[in-house]
Amino acid sequence: MHVTLALPRELGEPEVCRWRALQEADTAFDNPFLSPEFTLTVGELRDVVRVAVIHDGPEIVGFFPFERHPLGIGKPVAAGLTDAQGLVHAKDARIHPQWLLKQCGLAVYEFDHLVSGQPLLGARHERYPSPIIDLRDGWDNYTESLRRHSGKTYKSTLAKSRKLQREAGPLRHDYATTEVEPLRTLLGWKTDQYRRTGRADRFAHPWIVELVERLLATQSDSFAGVLDMVYVDGSPVAGHFGLRTRTTLAGWFPAYDTRFAKYSPGLIHHLAMAEQAAKSGIEVIDMGRGQKEYKDKLKNGELEVAEGRVARLGPAAGVHWVMRVPVRKTRATVMANPLLLKTADKTLKTYGRLRTVLQR
């Protein structure tokens, strides 16, 4: 077994087709963040992206996309943005993590959304739920499960949708549009949300804006950027941009116009999106790791992702441990404690309000 390292643009059509075939052969890899198109697009914008092509004799048995940073630190492609990470490999491939890191010239590979069934996954890595909307039994069965488990939320969302239309005008839902102007409206809402809640604005980085626009323009049967928006009386109210494979839609950037907040436009939009997604052949909407109230209300299943690192012995791995692991463990402690999480969230929102005032 051996590895060939390549820039994403150096992969030929045979390699891309093999990557896609391996991905579609195992449901564990059915996430657009693991698709070759995602890595190829990020690679056009970031020169740190590499792909390890893993060979067993003449056959390609795996692809390991990663970013290579100073001191041999490896990270997932578009680290901090992706909700699914890891290798795409043949089921019977025996790939040792430390061997793979050595072949890639890495001292450490750190991750926070490693999917299940990975050679990189160890017993000591922390596991977290990734809530999903499971549509494999159809839209009617999903709404029936909502009535049973989140009946109050489902009924109140429908009632608010009717109230919104009575008070503001007729509702229109554009699913899977490729227009750029609605995308810019959505990203503006998302920027306001980041600032309002004290988070760092991802779209302050031009390459991320460019990435989203390029992904929106990428449309094929196996992979596409999916933008959908809800309008009331012709005005945009809520929307979402995500990515899909043939059967999985990955949640990514949902947002809404806060002027309509009392109507719960995010929930109205998500139900509309899920219904249209089911009609288009989507079987799973992966809402991504993270505790959010709307996810708890809408989910009817969960996947599992892991957080941690794989390292080879050496000074670079030691430096990385000192700089990263204690911080990660502290954050995990806060996320696991409802009181600490509520306090941290309140603190960030206060910071966001103060930052807004100071910037005026």
Domain segments of the chain as ranges? 2-130+304-347, 137-282
Yes or no: say if 254 and 36 are a contact pair by the CB < 8 Å rule.
no
The pLDDT score that the predictor gives to residue 29 is 97
What pTM does this model have? 0.87
Answer yes or no: same fold for 2-130+304-347 and 137-282.
yes
The pLDDT score that the predictor gives to residue 334 is 43
How many Å apart are CA 161 and CA 175, to the nearest integer? Answer: 17
The pLDDT score that the predictor gives to residue 346 is 57
The pLDDT score that the predictor gives to residue 332 is 56
Nearby residues of 150 by Cβ (< 8 Å), 6 or more positions away = 297, 298
Tokens linked to 237: 């109210």
Q: Distance of CA 121 to CAs 109, 116, 117, Å?
A: 11, 8, 7
Yes or no: say if 232 and 165 are a contact pair by the CB < 8 Å rule.
yes
How many Å apart are CA 19 and CA 189, to the nearest integer? Answer: 35
The pLDDT score that the predictor gives to residue 245 is 98
Low-confidence ranges of the chain (pLDDT < 70): 313-360
How does DSSP classify residue 116? S
The pLDDT score that the predictor gives to residue 348 is 46
Q: 2-130+304-347 sits in which CATH class?
A: alpha beta
The pLDDT score that the predictor gives to residue 329 is 60
The pLDDT score that the predictor gives to residue 345 is 53
How many Å apart are CA 291 and CA 289, to the nearest integer? Answer: 7
The pLDDT score that the predictor gives to residue 122 is 83
R_g of the chain, CA atoms, integer Å: 21
Look at the domain 137-282 and name its fold. Answer: Aminopeptidase (3.40.630)
